[in-house]
Amino acid sequence: MIEILNNELYRSWVSELKDRIKSAQIKASLSVNSEMLNLYWDLGKSISEKLTVSDWGTKVVETISKDLTHSFPLMDGFSKRNLLFMRQWYEFYQIAENKSIEIMKQLVSQFPNMQNQLENIQQIISLIPWGHNILIIQKSQDIEQAIFYALKTVEHNWSRAVLGLQIESRLFERQGRAVTNFRLTLPKPQSDLAVETLKDPYKFDFLTLAEKANEKDLEDQLVQHITQFLLELGTGFAFIGRQYLLKIAENEYKIDLLFYHIRLRCFVVVELKSVEFKPEFTGKLSFYLSAVDDILRNENDNPTIGILLCKSKNKVEAEYALRGLSQPIGIAEYQFSKAIPENLKSQLPTIQDIEAELNAKQCL
Q: What is the pTM of this model?
A: 0.68
Phi, psi dihedrals of residue 265, rounded to the nearest 5°: 55, 55
SS3 assignment, position 158: coil
Rounded to whole angstroms, what are the CA distances from 76 to 40, 66, 121, 229?
12, 12, 25, 39
Contact yes or no for 151/159 (Cβ under 8 A): no
Exposure class string for 53-84: b at 16+ Cβ within 10 A, else e: eeeeeeeebeebbeebeeeeeeeebbebebbb
What gap in Å lies between CA 15 and CA 224, rounded to an integer?
38
Which pLDDT does position 23 carry in this prediction? Answer: 59
Kindly list the structural domains of the chain, giving each domain's residue range(s) and its CATH number in brackets, ordered by start: 2-172 (no CATH), 179-360 (3.40.1350.10)
Contact yes or no for 358/219 (Cβ under 8 A): no
Longest dimension (CA), the chain: 84
Contact yes or no for 104/96 (Cβ under 8 A): no
What gap in Å lies between CA 309 and CA 337, rounded to an integer?
16
Contact yes or no for 292/304 (Cβ under 8 A): yes
What gap in Å lies between CA 122 and CA 93, rounded to an integer?
9
Which pLDDT does position 209 carry in this prediction? Answer: 62
Amino acid in the structure at residue 349:
P
Which pLDDT does position 119 carry in this prediction? Answer: 66
- Of 333, 288, 286, residue with least CA distance to 309: 333
Residue 304: DSSP 8-state: P
Q: For 17-44, what is each residue's pLDDT tens digit?
A: 666 666 555 555 656 688 888 888 988 9
Which residues of the chain fall below pLDDT 70? 1-32, 95-101, 110-119, 208-213, 337-364
